[in-house]
Amino acid sequence: MPEEGMEDNKGREERPKWNNKAEYLLTCIGFAVGVGNVWRFPYLCQIYGGGAFLIPYLIALVFQGLPLLYLELAIGQRLRMGSIGVWNSISPYLGGVGVASMVVSFCVSLFYNTIVAWVLWYLFNSFQDPLPWSQCPLNHNNTGYVKECVESTPVNYFWYRQTLNITPNMETSGSLQWWLVVSLATAWSIIYICFIRGIETIGKAVYVTATFPYLVLTIFLVRALTLPGSSEGLIYLFTPDWEILKNPQVWLDAATQIFFSLSVAFGGLISFSSYNSQKNNCERDAVLVGVINSATSIYASIPIFAILGFKAHTNYVTCLNGNILALTNEFDISDMNITVENYEQWFDSLNGTHPSRVSDLNLKTCDLQTFLDQSASGTGLAFIVFTEAVISMPGSQVWAVLFFIMLFSLGLSSMFGNLEGILTPLHDLKLVPKWMPNELFTAIICLVLFLMALIFCLGSGNYWLEIFNSYVGSVPFLIIAFFEIIAVAYIYGIGRFSDDLEFMTGHRPNIFWKVCWLVISPLMLFVVLVAYVAVQAQTHPTYAAWNPDYVNFPDTEVLPYPDWVFAICVLLSSVPVISIPLVAIYRLICCMSGRHSKGSLHNDPNPYANEGYVVES
Amino acid sequence: MEEGCMINSNFLGISLFMRCLRMLVRILVLLYLAGAPALAQTLCQPNASNGCRVRISIKTALGNQAYEWNENEMFLFRATMAFAMRRYYKTETYNVDNIIMCNQTLRVSFWFVVTSPENSTMLIPKADVEKAVRMSRHRINNAFLLTDRTLEFLGIHPTLAAPVNPDTPPWLIVFGVVIGAVFAGIIALLVSSLLQKRRKEKGMMEDGQDEEDRQMKGVENDNVLDGIYNRGFTDDDRFTKL
């Protein structure tokens, strides 16, 4: 963002720059490492055969993720503009790619910060004893516990009723939940204070937000490995099932996961690298960011699964203890004679002698594998499964606070990139009036985003967030990335691009990068895009609704989307990317009508930036 | 002679009668003593209408510090129940003998009934016994170092934990602290930005000439560019408009 007061008589404004390389790298890493590394990757690892999933994941990283990352960092650094300016410079017909990036960043910021607001709400509630999600509240006349809570679990009740106050279906909108509005306002205020002075304040903030999650993950790792049942969880996670590699869905999910995890096509990475000096080795930066992002995913899955193993073990022991109590009471056996260890022998002997009495007890079948198989991802993992595990750990408040602060810093550092993808293009488009200071402009944007995100604070807000997450946060990115790579590799030209890279890094890109940019990455992106759309189109979209009056409550009711909602889904997927053809057509019309539009977005070179040019007199 | 025999036979008759009477009394006493427990046994039976079942889980509650359930503990239980009945009825007539226990198992579980102090064959109704237990539940639990769940009176539900309702929800306090800090930070940063700008403007006016010279040359990333000015880059459009 240009700083005022430093204008020369030619009206040139100096671009802000990073204080040091560490701030730049930490910001990029913080943007790439988000909540998805913690709650999406371990889930994929679990359902796709543990250690075997690493193979398609790493292949996708090397052949698709790293080339795209290198490409974005390089063009941002070379052309020194945000996403709109960069794509306008490369080809005016492809200016729509930049606009699409900005629109998509806008939509993602809306719902991503709502998740941060939920994390804040849980964080605020972790400072009490006992934790509010550990027990059911009493009903009105204090005769018993609330019915909805008894039928499901206290953790589910706290999430669905006391946090979201969710409506039974999407048609019922419900009202604004004031506590969520308050949490959302807090989240946006914290974002604003970090963005007040642009990268100056962001650069300071990322020292904490990008490093704190690693500290917490290590603490959790040490704690989790000392809990009973953790080893079962880890074995379950990492036992490779090689057969799963034959399923194409695995490769598709690995490619999409690596893609969304690296946060390319948001425009944020282009903006961040545009504040660098041009003589910076962006190849090393790209490889570093990509590798650290994947390493974080793998590192995060270890404590997550150790704790999930502990939770499964706890549930298994509770189930067994229920059976033991039933048997002890029925047959008047001395207290604690039946234990978890000798339960099998007792059961067999009792079943042999009194089978009818034993069967009348309706004992539950307790199988550790079943409990381990209960997988969850996304908000379900953080707010239901993990909170349940935390209750059983001694010193629950400490672990809950640590966990939610970690999620908060992960989300915050990703929000920096999202918001940067909106603000920098707007500045480059010179849409900001000259009289308006940057702080005011940032405040206005944050306020607009906050007001629009109030839709997610309604009773049906969670359903809308799922829609945004599935339809905005998926296909548009694939399309944008595909056009990005085609634009640079074929329209800008790989030769010109290699020259730029040689100017910036000091050496030409080797054959691996060139082959990836020209052939492998576009091909992979195209295949992934087509396969993703095909898979989505096959199933009629449904959503899981929380309905206390449902017959099979506490199972969620699977409802189809109403038609008007489905229309909105299609709009959400297509409107961001519609700018790509629109801008191309507009430029064509302008060109054909002969109007010469001076590219005010072109980077006016500084006449003094010609080191090495010697006047030969 | 005949009068002496008649007196002797009368005396013999009376002593025989006394002996028979004593034997009868002894038999009756023996019968009573033998029959009392039998009577008590008939009063206390499993599934009796006025009997309560108790289930105790000492090892679950106390783990390593569990005590053994023996006759002394049974005596303590009877004394505690008598205490509960005294407290409920506000009399001092109940005693340990009024609590009769039977059918003890290894679990540990047993049945007990409460007899009325006035009439030892009459049982106190179950509802009253339950009310007495509910009133003194806390004291009964503490006498045995147990809780509602480990000292179960079947038919009497454990009391629900009273909800803790603080005046201000704790989360509001944390939220207040955080949002206060954030707003203070925003105001501080805005004010310092404003002050910095004013200072810069004042500085610009004072040595504006030096600043302009530096800007002319151009400072890019702390490297003062000292290339030769390339006249090819002059923006001539400003001057020559066709």
Q: What are the pLDDT digits (tens) for A537-554?
A: 887 788 889 988 888 887
Indicate whether A418 pLDDT > 90: yes
* A335 contacts B108? CB cut-off 8 A: yes
Q: Is A342 annotated among the ligand-binding residues?
A: no
Indicate whether A287 pLDDT > 90: yes
Least CA distance to B54: which residue of chain A?
A: A329
List A residues 379-398 in contact with B (Cβ-Cβ < 8 A): none
User: Confidence band (pLDDT; 50, 70, 90) for B233?
Assistant: low
At B215 the pLDDT is 53
* A189 contacts B186? CB cut-off 8 A: yes
Indicate whether A602 pLDDT > 50: no
Least CA distance to A328: which residue of chain B?
A: B107
At B216 the pLDDT is 53
* A14 contacts B175? CB cut-off 8 A: no
User: Confidence band (pLDDT; 50, 70, 90) for B211?
Assistant: low
What is the average per-residue pLDDT within B92-104?
86
CA neighbours within 13 Å on the CB side: how many for A10? 17
What is the average per-residue pLDDT within A248-267?
89
Q: Is B193 on the interface with A (CB under 8 A)?
A: yes
User: Confidence band (pLDDT; 50, 70, 90) for A284?
Assistant: very high
User: Confidence band (pLDDT; 50, 70, 90) for B100?
Assistant: confident
Q: Is A609 on the interface with B (CB under 8 A)?
A: yes
Q: Is B17 on the interface with A (CB under 8 A)?
A: no
Q: Is B201 on the interface with A (CB under 8 A)?
A: yes
Comparing A492-501, B36-45, B51-60, B141-150, the range with the smallest average pLDDT is: B36-45
At A97 the pLDDT is 92
Q: Which residues of A touch B181 (CB under 8 A)?
A: none
What is the average per-residue pLDDT within A202-219?
93
* A7 contacts B220? CB cut-off 8 A: no
Task: Please provide the average confidence, as pLDDT, over all residues in chain B.
Answer: 78
At A513 the pLDDT is 93
Task: Please provide the average confidence, as pLDDT, over all residues in chain A.
Answer: 87
User: Confidence band (pLDDT; 50, 70, 90) for B226?
Assistant: low
Indicate whether B238 pLDDT > 60: no
At B161 the pLDDT is 66
Q: Is A326 on the interface with B (CB under 8 A)?
A: no
Closest partner CB to A5 (pick from B55, B106, B197): B197
Closest partner CB to B59 (pick from A179, A277, A336): A336
Q: Is A125 on the interface with B (CB under 8 A)?
A: yes
User: Confidence band (pLDDT; 50, 70, 90) for B6?
Assistant: low
List B residues 101-160 in contact with A (Cβ-Cβ < 8 A): 105-109, 160
Q: Which residue has the tokens 């730029």?
A: A500
- Token pair for residue B75? 């005596």
Measured CA to CA, the distance from residue A343 to residue B164 in angstroms comes to: 38
* A328 contacts B107? CB cut-off 8 A: yes
Comparing A204-218, A466-480, B36-50, the range with the smallest average pLDDT is: B36-50
**Per-residue pLDDT tens over the stretch A314-351:** 999 999 998 888 888 888 888 888 888 888 888 888 88
Measured CA to CA, the distance from residue A387 to residue A156 in angstroms comes to: 10
Comparing A489-498, A608-617, B100-109, the range with the smallest average pLDDT is: A608-617
Indicate whether A119 pLDDT > 90: yes
What is the average per-residue pLDDT within B16-28?
80
Indicate whether B116 pLDDT > 80: yes
User: Confidence band (pLDDT; 50, 70, 90) for B203?
Assistant: confident
How far lies B158's CA from each of A143, A186, A322, B153, in Å?
Answer: 11, 42, 17, 9
Chain B closest-CA separation from residue A508 CA (Å)? 24
Q: Is A582 on the interface with B (CB under 8 A)?
A: no
* B220 contacts A277? CB cut-off 8 A: yes
The DSSP letter of residue A337 is S
If you average pLDDT over each of A39-53, A186-200, A421-435, which comes out highest?
A: A186-200
Indicate whether A453 pLDDT > 90: yes
What is the identity of the amino acid at B60?
Answer: T
At B204 the pLDDT is 78
CB crowding B127-159: b at 16 or more within 10 Å, else e? eebeebbbebbeebbebbebebebbbbeebeee
**Per-residue pLDDT tens over the stretch A39-98:** 899 888 888 888 889 999 999 999 999 999 999 999 999 999 888 989 998 988 888 999
Q: Which residues of A touch B179 (CB under 8 A)?
A: 185-186, 189
Comparing B156-170, B178-192, B215-229, the range with the smallest average pLDDT is: B215-229
User: Confidence band (pLDDT; 50, 70, 90) for A8?
Assistant: very low
Q: Is A617 on the interface with B (CB under 8 A)?
A: no
Indicate whether A107 pLDDT > 60: yes
Measured CA to CA, the distance from residue A527 to residue B230 in angstroms comes to: 48
User: Confidence band (pLDDT; 50, 70, 90) for A21?
Assistant: very high
Q: Which residues of A touch B204 (CB under 8 A)?
A: 5
How far lies A152's CA from each of A156, A165, A259, A318, A553, in Å?
Answer: 6, 15, 36, 16, 8
Q: Is A544 annotated among the ligand-binding residues?
A: no
Q: Mapping DSSP to helix (H, G, I), strand (E, B) and coil, where does residue A429 land? A: coil
Q: Is A588 on the interface with B (CB under 8 A)?
A: no
User: Confidence band (pLDDT; 50, 70, 90) for A275?
Assistant: very high
Using CB atoms within 10 Å of the CB of residue B28, give its burial: 0 to 12 exposed, 13 to 18 middle, 19+ buried. Answer: exposed
Rounded-to-10 torsion of CA A302, A52, A41, A82: 120
User: Confidence band (pLDDT; 50, 70, 90) for A22?
Assistant: very high
Indicate whether B224 pLDDT > 70: no
* A193 contacts B189? CB cut-off 8 A: yes
List A residues 414-443 in contact with B (Cβ-Cβ < 8 A): 437, 439
Indicate whether B173 pLDDT > 80: yes
Indicate whether A190 pLDDT > 70: yes
Residue that wins the pLDDT comparison between B167 and B57: B57
Least CA distance to B213: which residue of chain A?
A: A8
User: Confidence band (pLDDT; 50, 70, 90) for A370?
Assistant: confident
At A219 the pLDDT is 94
Closest partner CB to A605 (pick from B172, B204, B233): B233
* B160 contacts A336? CB cut-off 8 A: no
At B152 the pLDDT is 87
Q: Is A11 on the interface with B (CB under 8 A)?
A: no
Comparing A224-228, A331-335, A530-534, B225-229, the range with the smallest average pLDDT is: B225-229
- Token pair for residue B79? 């004394």
Indicate whether A142 pLDDT > 60: yes
Comparing A332-336, A398-402, A416-420, the range with the smallest average pLDDT is: A332-336
Q: Which residues of B touch A125 (CB under 8 A)?
A: 170-171
User: Confidence band (pLDDT; 50, 70, 90) for A518?
Assistant: very high
Indicate whether B214 pLDDT > 80: no
**Per-residue pLDDT tens over the stretch A226-253:** 998 899 888 888 888 888 888 888 888 8
Residues B148, A122: contact at Cβ < 8 Å? no
Closest partner CB to A137 (pick from B108, B163, B226): B163
Strand-pair category, B223-224 with B151-153: unpaired
Q: Is A32 annotated among the ligand-binding residues?
A: yes
Chain A closest-CA separation from residue B167 CA (Å)? 13
Q: Which residues of A touch B105 (CB under 8 A)?
A: 332
Q: Which residues pair with A542 in a beta bridge?
A: A560
At B208 the pLDDT is 56
Using CB atoms within 10 Å of the CB of residue A531, give its burial: 0 to 12 exposed, 13 to 18 middle, 19+ buried. Answer: middle
* A607 contacts B193? CB cut-off 8 A: no
Query: For testing the chain A interface, which of B107, B229, B234 should be mutated: the one with the most A CBs within 10 Å?
Result: B107
Residue percentage of chain B with pLDDT more than 70: 73
Measured CA to CA, the distance from residue B105 to residue A328 in angstroms comes to: 11
